[in-house]
Amino acid sequence: MLCATSRLLAARAAAASPAQPRARGPAPRCRRRELHFPGHPKLPLCGFLAGRLARLSVPTGRRAILRRGRMPPVVGGGSELRLRKGRCGPQVARALGPDVAAEAAARSPKRPAWGLRRFEAAGWWVSLALVTLLSFATRFHRLDEPRHVCWDETHFGKMGSYYINRTFFFDVHPPLGKMLIGLAGYLSGYDGTFMFQRPGDKYEQHNYMGMRRFCASLGSLLIPFAYLIVLELSKSLPAALLTAALLTFDTGCLTLSQYILLDPILMFFIMAAMLSMVKYNTISDLWHLFGDLSLSLVTMGKHLTARILCLIVLPLALYTATYAVHFMVLNKSGPGDGFFSSAFQARLAGNNLHNASIPEHLAYGSVITVKNLRMAIGYLHSHRHLYPEGIGARQQQVTTYLHKDYNNLWIIKKHNTNSDPLDPSFPVEFVRHGDIIRLEHKETSRNLHSHYHEAPLTRKHYQVTGYGINGTGDSNDFWRIEVVNRKFGNRIKVLRSRIRFIHLVTGCVLGSSGKILPKWGWEQVEVTCTPYLKETLNSIWNVEEGLSEVLLRGGGQLLLGWVLHYFPFFLMGRVLYFHHYFPAMLFSSMLTGVLWDTLLRLCAWSLASFSLASSIHVLGVLSLVLGTAYSFYLFHPLAYGMVGPLAQDPRSPMAGLRWLESWDF
């Protein structure tokens, strides 16, 4: 660049002075590639700079931007130069004289001092430290209060106990957060013996603080994460501080961080992922690499492969690994057994299928349970209660039930005999694919029955009931048992065979709609006989166990983040609660910090000079931060607990803070 600058200045000097004869012999050459300016001499850099700076009468003009290739001669104008250390410095000083050299040095711009840059960086880190300290202080204040089970601690504290006791359970959430809660309790000395039955139960001597501290720690880290994200996106310390204040002094965010809940864990990983994204811009970098035509296909393939491995394969492997750990830890029978297949239950210690001595094939006379293969449907079930008036035939109810119960037991019999299959004079006879059978309810001695009456909830499906006395009924009690994708005559394997029950008279298939019956049906799941013969999990069952002689076995990014965390809830068909909004609120707070910082800068610059505008901007941000802090001072009892009379009492310190009629403390 110095070589190019010397050529350009040489051209300007030649235009401002009489032409000199070109000296013979080779011109001095710079070490770097030279840029040739046609019609102008090549001069040594040091000599030219000395001569050029001596001609201070040449007016200063605009800068010239040099590019590779040939450039037209420069017409007029000059360029300010600053003196630099090196071999040229003494020659330039001698040529100019002491007074002129001092003037030129005074006019030259100075490079920012390293000390100033270090001071700015130190200011960012000090601010981060203060933000983190304040975040932990607000989240850990009065963390032990209340000393009883609060809100959803009933669920997630109980699940932590399940992990400590290695008791299997079922839940809709992925396992990582609950495993971490259990791990925190285990490491802090909690023994998993507290029942977590209902909100308000006293913890007494049980060590619950380890799990609360863990959740509070992750909730506290949300604020420094938000600070770093906004600082990275906006490069504005005021915007980052404003965002940190909004989240630090938010009573809702604080409250969620002080209890044994999944919310702080969920939001921690959301913010950690967002921080990683804005720090490394991986996808954005790949997009720019695609536009770089100088890269070979091999290099592009390496970049693409690295991102596939790190952004797709590795996360999937980690996600799958959490489930592997979940199933390895929870190896004892528990309340979640009924949600899973019979074969899976056989692996759980304490389950009646675990290590049971059970024959491989199903035989007549077996006392069995019949489980639907669809998740969360459960076992074929009946009880002595009848269908109410106006709901099909007034006969015994048949439902499905998720939990183990004596009313789940059925005896499998031949359709045309009432002989006792346990009589030792009769040989053991196995049930085969295509056999016509009856299923007799063990507790009530009524047969599984169907007819053309409509099902209670599902239109065009037939009602399923319990019918008959002591096993004696009619032809509507007959069912053909079929094994999915098997040939006629094959034996039916316990646990492993996927079977269907075809009603012999109507031709319908026994199944479950998955719909919950009203209170008259004890809010159990509807069983129907569907005339649609398509194979679905709702109509496929497996035989699970037997109890007789024959047993069985078994910025834009922030807005996009807000949109992605807010609008999907409009598509959900479930009841939504206030805490569902908090992931979106994190992005809303970060977006608010960036937006207010930008608006204040624009307003300040449009109204005042630079020095005054800077003061107005700082004052505006400071006012927002202090206003947020004062609001927290007023409403902090909502997070830490109220004292004195109830909020509705005029003597309560909260009485004057009900600014809107819709508010309810």
pLDDT at residue 87, rounded to an integer: 43
Mean pLDDT, rounded, for 407-433:
77
Cβ atoms of 325 and 179 closer than 8 Å:
yes
DSSP assignment of 415-430 equals TT----TT-TTSPP-B
Cβ atoms of 462 and 455 closer than 8 Å:
yes
β-pair type (462-467, 410-414): unpaired
On the 0-12 / 13-18 / 19+ scale of CB atoms within 10 A, 422 is middle
Is the per-residue pLDDT at 93 higher than 70?
no
Q: How confident is the model at residue 375 (pLDDT cuts 50, 70, 90)?
A: low
DSSP assignment of 275-344 equals HHHHHH-HHHHHHHHHT-TTS-HHHHHHHHHHHHIIIIIHHHHHHHHHHHHHHHH--B--TTGGGS-HHH
Mean pLDDT, rounded, for 77-97:
43
Query: Is the CA virtual torsion 70, 73, 77, 83 positive or negative?
Result: positive
pLDDT at residue 68, rounded to an integer: 37
Nearby residues of 403 by Cβ (< 8 Å), 6 or more positions away:
335, 338, 378
Any idea which architecture 366-530 has in CATH? Trefoil (2.80)
| 479-498 confidence digits (pLDDT tens) | 998 888 766 558 777 767 78
Is the per-residue pLDDT at 37 higher than 60?
no
**Which of 273-287, 366-380, 435-449 has maximum average pLDDT?**
435-449
CA-wise closest residue to 531 among 511, 502, 509, 512: 509
Instruction: Tabulate helix, strand, coil % of the chain (nearest 5).
Output: 45, 15, 40
What are the structural domain ranges in the chain? 120-280, 366-530
Mean pLDDT, rounded, for 244-263:
94
Q: How confident is the model at residue 369 (pLDDT cuts 50, 70, 90)?
A: confident
Q: CA–CA separation, 577 vs 565, rounded Å?
A: 14
* Phi, psi of 398, deg, nearest 5: -125, 130
Q: CA–CA separation, 190 vs 207, rounded Å?
A: 5
Q: CA–CA separation, 566 vs 569, rounded Å?
A: 6
* Phi, psi of 422, deg, nearest 5: -85, -5
Nearby residues of 6 by Cβ (< 8 Å), 6 or more positions away:
30, 43, 44, 45, 48, 49
CA-wise closest residue to 451 among 495, 524, 396, 506: 506
| 291-310 confidence digits (pLDDT tens) | 878 888 899 899 889 989 98
Global pTM value: 0.63
User: What are 575's two structure tokens?
Assistant: 């009841």
On the 0-12 / 13-18 / 19+ scale of CB atoms within 10 A, 178 is buried
Nearby residues of 438 by Cβ (< 8 Å), 6 or more positions away:
412, 413, 414, 415, 447, 448, 471, 473, 477, 478, 479
The H or E element that residue 120 is part of is helix 114-140
| 139-195 confidence digits (pLDDT tens) | 999 999 999 999 899 999 999 999 999 999 888 889 999 999 999 999 999 999 999
Read off the amino acid at residue 543: V
Question: How many Cα atoms sit within 13 Å of 459 on the Cβ side?
Answer: 0
Mean pLDDT, rounded, for 199-221:
94
User: What are 350's two structure tokens?
Assistant: 């304490």
* Phi, psi of 561, deg, nearest 5: -60, -40
What integer best gives the mean pLDDT of the chain? Answer: 78
Q: CA–CA separation, 605 vs 597, rounded Å?
A: 12
